[in-house]
Structure formats: C-alpha cells, structure tokens
A and B are shown apart, each in its own frame.
Chain A
Amino acid sequence: MLWYKGWLETRFRVLFVLVIVLPAIGFVLRHIDPPVPVAAVEELLNALTFFLLLIPLMLAGAGIKTQCILFGTTKGLHGSMYITLSLPVSRLRLLATRAGLGMLETVGVFAVASCVAWFMYPAPRAYLTVSGLFAHWVTVSICMSAFYFLTVFLATFLGDQEEIAVSGILIVILHLLSKTVSVPSSVNVFRAMGESSPLFTHTFPWASMGVSLGAAAILFLAAMRVVQTREY
C-alpha cells in the first residue's frame, strides 16, 4: 500500500501537470499548419520537450518525507515522516516504491499528452506515424529518467519545494550547457528528445538513451545511499 500513499500525495500533481501540459501542446500544435519546414517542427518540438521536463520535477519523490498535495504549506520534514519510518518496511522499499510510482506517472502523463496530440490535432497525423510517435515516447521516457532521478536524489535531502526549485534550476543549467559546451550530439540527451528523436531520424538515439539510463542508475544508487545512511 505504499503506492497508495504515494498516489494520494501525487494525484493532484498529476492533474496539475496535465492541466499545464495539454494546453501547451495544443498551443504549439495549433501553430503547425502543413506544410511547414521540418526544421520549424523540430524547433517547436525542442521547445515542447524542454517544457515537458517540468513533469518529473512535479512527480518525483523519495518516499520518506511526506509530500504536500500540490504547493501546500508543508515545509521541510513533516512529522508524519516518523510514521512512515516506523512501518515494517526497509528504506530501500520506501524509496523504490515512491520513485517507481512517480516514474510511471511521468511516462503516463507523457503518453496521455502524445495520444491527445495525435487524436485532437491534424498536424501530428500529417507529419508523423503511430510507430514514430511510439518510438518518440519510448525515447523521451528513457531520456527523461535522468532528470527524474536527479529530482528523486534531491528529494532525499531537500524539502518539498526546495527540491522542485533546485532541480528546475539544474535542468535549465544543463540545458544551457548542452547548447554552449560542445557535447557530442550522439550523447546529447536534450537533442535526443528533440531534433535527434526517432520522429525525424527514424532510428533510436541509443547512445543518448544509454547515457540517460546510466545517469538515472547512478542517481538512484546515490539516493539509496543517502536514504539508508541518513538519520531523521
């Protein structure tokens, strides 16, 4: 039932993210009337992808501290954390269940957004295939995992609101660095979710996906280490 606790904490965040993401997608897609150059579509997709990175910020959690439902007044560590820590479960299970639930919600929200885009707007149907969109969803879900687990890691030692703020700032910095520092394009995770997506290249950006998964695994292990050694 740890998933149930996590779901009660995040259900309004999922709703909030959908309320933000779906109109944003609609706004972008309404400005694509075929025919437009592919470069313009890539540019719009890049903007949208960066916007989609808000999703993991909102939905990630480490499972020990009690999270506020949305942007409530719960600051720092809520006293109910001691009830969580008194349950007969390991800290690893607390972390893994909460992190797993948030990741599922994240890819779920992105799947809903993709479906809405496909069914409600003519532009995706004109430019994309279902298999291309599915490949894009897989790519973004995997590439997003690094950013998701960055937030999970931060959630192990920061308060609820600080974790969102710090994670957001770090993602913006990484995004700017990816544009200014010469990173091999094959491992540029931001590019993999934008112009190097299978939507345009018709092939998976395996190197970027591998980098992202590797980073996610390292961040999860770091989060696990913090949770197992931290005193509350």
Chain B
Amino acid sequence: MADPVIETRGLLKSFKGLNALNGLNLSVPAGSIFGFLGRNGAGKTTTIKLLMGILKPDGGNARVFGLTATDASASVEIRRRLGFVSEEKDLYPYMTVEQIIRFTRSFFPKWRDDLDRRYLKLFDLPPKRKISDLSKGMRSTLMLLLGISHGAELLILDEPADGLDPVAVEDMLRELVAIAAAEGTTIFFSSHHMEEVEQIADHVCIIDGGAAIVTGSLDDLKARYQRLRIVLGEELQATIHWVDGAEHVRQEGRSVEILASRNVDAILNQARSLPGASVECFPVTLKEIFMEHARRN
C-alpha cells in the first residue's frame, strides 16, 4: 500500500488553555477523496493550519508527502505541492481575477494554462473584474481554480462549498471527482455538510473535541453501520440487554430502533431470536453516523 499523503500522530494543540486538538491521529491515503467532518469548532481548521505550517503543534507530529510539516523548509516544499482553499474565501481585494492568476502562477513552475482557462469558463469568472466585486461563491471557485491549476498533488479544501448555490456546489463536486480521477490528485476537504461528503468521498474522518472518533473508508463504514427496526411480540415485556455494538437504542412501546456500529449479525440474530419479533434492516447515511457520534460526545 502506498504511503499516506497526510499522516498525523497524537497531534495536540491548545489555545489559551482550551484544547483544539487532543491527540489527533489521521491517515489520508494517496489518491483518495477524504472527507474531514466535524462540527464547528471541532478542530478541522486548526488541523489544516498545522498541516500547512501556519500553526505549530504543542505535541505529536504531522507529515505531508512524508515531510515534517513543522519544519520550515519542508513546509515550503509541502506548500509547493498542494493547493489550498481557505475557510475565509478572502483573496487580495485589490487584484483583478487575471492579476491574481498571474501572481499565483509565478510561484508554481508546473502551472497549467489549459486548466485555468477551462475553469475560468466553467465557473464563469470575469478576468477583468476586481476580487472585491466578486461574490463569496465566485471567490470560492476562483480559489479552487488557483489550487487546481498549479498541478497540485494534494488539494486541501476548508469548507469549499460555503457561499455556493446548489448548482455551483454540484459543478464543483463533479470537477473534484474528475480531477481526482484524471490527475490522481488527493483531495482532503473539511466540511460540516454531510451530503457533499457522502456524494464524493471515499474515505472519511469524523473529528470531535479535537480527536478522530470515526475514521475509515466510506464503504466500510456503511457496511459496518446498520439501522435495525424491530417490532417486538406482544408477550415481551422485559427490558432487553442488547449485545455489544448496539449504539443507540430507542424503544417506544413494542417498536425498537437500533443503530448498530458493529456486530450487526449478532444483533440481528438476537432480535430474531426474540419471540414474535419482526426485524427490518436499513442502510444508514453518513449524516446519521455523524449525528449519533456528535450526540454521544
């Protein structure tokens, strides 16, 4: 298996005594579309800033392309190989679209003119317009253009869909998938919009309280998590002690709903062994997994 593009071990960071990251372990496979999920304040942006050398960790380590992110000269090399869309979506307000393209291009020898022309057209960005006159959505797509066009091996996108209308979100997600497929670019994107992540990600990490609480491939997670709906027989009155893996059990009368995070077969067998019980099994969405963990934490 190829080395991970991003790897963190026990990453710690606090601000004024408040823990932003609390021993974060992360491994982003090369070529993956990696959804980095968490509530606001969960530590997503702090992680990204640490990966880019904008912040320094209090403990643990972070490696990008196998290089230590905290080392100043390695950090320059890391930034040469990655594209970045910041959460703020602020660009230099005094530049025009074509000026910022010219400016950014000068730092990247592998700049792709074909890509910048393509995305200018696709995202309908007027080259002569000042950035201060662009909408937040246009600034988002311009940042994406700048990140993609320099031939980045890794795209780090912090809430990339913020400010975009639904059509633009669809366009952007489609392009991200196309880039990952065509160029082999690894895409690491943070979001709190589960639907976007579920639509394109093949790996996810849910972060809460500065630590990863769920991580893995999306297919594995979906196979592991199941929602069970059980209607108990009339004669069953006692409280049932479910086997390990029944994460969230909600019982109303004879109806029981269980979110199973593991041991699905054992829980199913237990349910089916109950006298007069009928059992149905449903796949769960990423949002349900996220909500379950968010509630618990």
Residues of A within 8 A of B (CB): 1, 4-5, 8-9, 66, 69, 74, 78-80, 82-83, 85-91, 228, 231-232
A88 to B143: give the CA distance in the assembly, Å: 16
List chain A residues, Cβ under 8 A from B76.
Answer: 88-90
Q: Other than A79-B86, A86-B84, A88-B108, give 12 A-B pairs with Cβ distance below 8 A.
A: A1-B103, A5-B95, A79-B88, A79-B89, A80-B88, A80-B92, A83-B90, A85-B52, A86-B82, A87-B79, A88-B76, A88-B77
Given A87-B79, A88-B76, A88-B80, decide whether A78 and B90 contact each other with a Cβ distance below 8 A: yes
| Contact assessment for A87 and B107 in the assembled complex, using a CB-CB cutoff below 8 Å | yes
A74 to B94: give the CA distance in the assembly, Å: 12
State the Cβ distance, A96 to closest chain B Cβ, in Å.
14
Interface check B229, CB cutoff 8 A: no
Residue-wise, chain B 45-85 has the 8 Å CB interface mask toward A (1 for contact) of 00001001111100000000000000011001101101010
List chain A residues, Cβ under 8 A from B99.
Answer: 8
List chain B residues, Cβ under 8 A from A228.
Answer: 72
| Contact assessment for B95 and A8 in the assembled complex, using a CB-CB cutoff below 8 Å | yes
Interface check B129, CB cutoff 8 A: no
Residues of B within 8 A of A (CB): 49, 52-56, 72-73, 76-77, 79-80, 82, 84, 86, 88-95, 99, 102-104, 106-108, 143
| Contact assessment for B52 and A5 in the assembled complex, using a CB-CB cutoff below 8 Å | no
Once A and B bind, how many residue pairs between them come within 8 Å at the CB atom? 72
List chain A residues, Cβ under 8 A from B104.
Answer: 87
Given A80-B91, A83-B86, A85-B54, decide whether A90 and B103 contact each other with a Cβ distance below 8 A: no
What are 24 A-to-B residue pairs whose CB atoms are below 8 Å? A4-B103, A5-B95, A8-B94, A8-B95, A66-B92, A66-B93, A79-B88, A80-B91, A80-B92, A80-B93, A82-B88, A83-B91, A85-B52, A86-B82, A87-B79, A88-B76, A88-B79, A88-B108, A90-B76, A91-B72, A231-B49, A231-B55, A231-B56, A232-B55
Closest to A72 in B: B93
| Contact assessment for A90 and B73 in the assembled complex, using a CB-CB cutoff below 8 Å | yes
| Contact assessment for B72 and A90 in the assembled complex, using a CB-CB cutoff below 8 Å | yes
List chain B residues, Cβ under 8 A from A85.
Answer: 52-54
List chain A residues, Cβ under 8 A from B102.
Answer: 1
List chain B residues, Cβ under 8 A from A88.
Answer: 76-77, 79-80, 107-108
List chain A residues, Cβ under 8 A from B88.
Answer: 79-80, 82
Interface centre among A74, A78, A80, A232, by most chain B C-beta atoms within 10 angstroms, is A80
State the Cβ distance, B101 to closest chain A Cβ, in Å.
11
List chain A residues, Cβ under 8 A from B77.
Answer: 88
| Contact assessment for A89 and B54 in the assembled complex, using a CB-CB cutoff below 8 Å | no
A91 to B77: give the CA distance in the assembly, Å: 13
State the Cβ distance, A145 to closest chain B Cβ, in Å.
27
State the Cβ distance, A155 to closest chain B Cβ, in Å.
17
List chain B residues, Cβ under 8 A from A1.
Answer: 102-103, 106-107
Q: Which of A5, A90, A232 contacts B54 (CB 8 A)?
A: A232
| Contact assessment for A86 and B94 in the assembled complex, using a CB-CB cutoff below 8 Å | no
State the Cβ distance, A205 to closest chain B Cβ, in Å.
39
List chain B residues, Cβ under 8 A from A231.
Answer: 49, 54-56
A79 to B93: give the CA distance in the assembly, Å: 10
Nearest first, the 5 A-B pairs at minimum CB distance are A79-B88, A79-B90, A88-B80, A1-B106, A86-B84
Q: Which of B91, B93, B107 contacts A89 (CB 8 A)?
A: B107
Closest to A83 in B: B91
State the Cβ distance, B59 to closest chain A Cβ, in Å.
15
| Contact assessment for B103 and A5 in the assembled complex, using a CB-CB cutoff below 8 Å | yes
Q: Which of B54, B107, B108 contacts A82 (CB 8 A)?
A: B54
State the Cβ distance, A112 to closest chain B Cβ, in Å.
23
Given A82-B86, A83-B86, decide whether A8 and B80 contact each other with a Cβ distance below 8 A: no
List chain A residues, Cβ under 8 A from B108.
Answer: 88
Interface centre among A74, A79, A88, A228, by most chain B C-beta atoms within 10 angstroms, is A88
List chain A residues, Cβ under 8 A from B52.
Answer: 85-86
State the Cβ distance, B199 to closest chain A Cβ, in Å.
26
A230 to B79: give the CA distance in the assembly, Å: 18
Closest to A4 in B: B103
State the Cβ distance, A197 to closest chain B Cβ, in Å.
37
State the Cβ distance, B245 to closest chain A Cβ, in Å.
41
State the Cβ distance, A147 to closest chain B Cβ, in Å.
26
State the Cβ distance, B100 to closest chain A Cβ, in Å.
9
A74 to B131: give the CA distance in the assembly, Å: 14
List chain B residues, Cβ under 8 A from A4.
Answer: 103
List chain B residues, Cβ under 8 A from A78.
Answer: 90, 93
Closest to A12 in B: B94
A79 to B87: give the CA distance in the assembly, Å: 9
List chain B residues, Cβ under 8 A from A89.
Answer: 76, 107
A230 to B90: give the CA distance in the assembly, Å: 21
List chain A residues, Cβ under 8 A from B73.
Answer: 90
